[in-house]
Amino acid sequence: MAHLDDIIARVDATIAAGVIAPMNELLIALSDDAALSREERYEQQQRLRVAIAHHGRHHREEAEHEAEARREHLTSGGTIL
């Protein structure tokens, strides 16, 4: 059980950091972790997949918001500045 606890802590820390590359690396590393059961491995991988999906959605929404703000700024008063 200690190995699973270590893996859960690693997944928690990786998700908290919010950086996609380490999330993907851990996702791949978990695929080869023979010390975990199939269910344990799947559960931790799924947590990473969900975090990656949320991260991508958040960045897309931010980019759309920034584009809209820029468009509003450039066309303020109906005139392109």
Distances (CA, A) of 42 to 22, 24, 45, 73, 77: 17, 14, 5, 46, 54
**pTM value > 0.75:** no
Judged by DSSP in three states, 29 sits in helix
Per-residue confidence (pLDDT) for residue 30, from 0 to 100: 95
Higher pLDDT, 72 or 51: 51
pLDDT > 80? residue 63: no
pLDDT digits (tens, 9 = 90+) for 14-47: 999 999 999 999 999 999 999 999 999 999 999 9
